[in-house]
């Protein structure tokens, strides 16, 4: 993820899972719309809750975006092995 394509992929995957809720929350706060504030808060709290694998999901999605959408052929990553590795790190085994 040290390349420009890697950073773009990481940003896009963050926006897919969590970033849009932050944007909705900020827009709701600026406009004073309680519905947008509630929606953004609910999604943010859901992803910050225990048992939600948001970090592994973001990283694996970023690897997928980098490899298949941004057509990066330099770094081949086996997504299944990376997913298992990230789950082991998150569970503390």
Q: Tens of pLDDT along 5-20?
A: 888 888 999 999 999 9
Burial 75-89 (b: 16+ CB within 10 A, else e): eeeeeeeebeebeee
Q: What is the pTM of this model?
A: 0.70
Count of structural domains, the chain: 1
Domain span at 56? 4-91
The pLDDT value given to residue 76: 65
pLDDT tier at 88, thresholds 50, 70, 90: confident
């Amino acid at each position: 993820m040290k390349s420009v394509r890697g950073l773009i992929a990481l940003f896009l995957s963050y926006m897919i899972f969590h970033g849009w809720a932050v944007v909705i929350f900020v827009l709701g706060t600026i406009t004073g719309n309680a519905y947008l504030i509630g929606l953004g808060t609910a999604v943010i709290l859901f992803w910050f809750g225990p048992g939600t694998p948001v970090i592994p999901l973001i990283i694996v999605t970023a690897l997928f975006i980098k490899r298949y959408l941004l057509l990066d052929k330099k770094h081949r990553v086996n997504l299944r092995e990376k997913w298992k590795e990230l789950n082991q790190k998150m569970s503390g085994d």
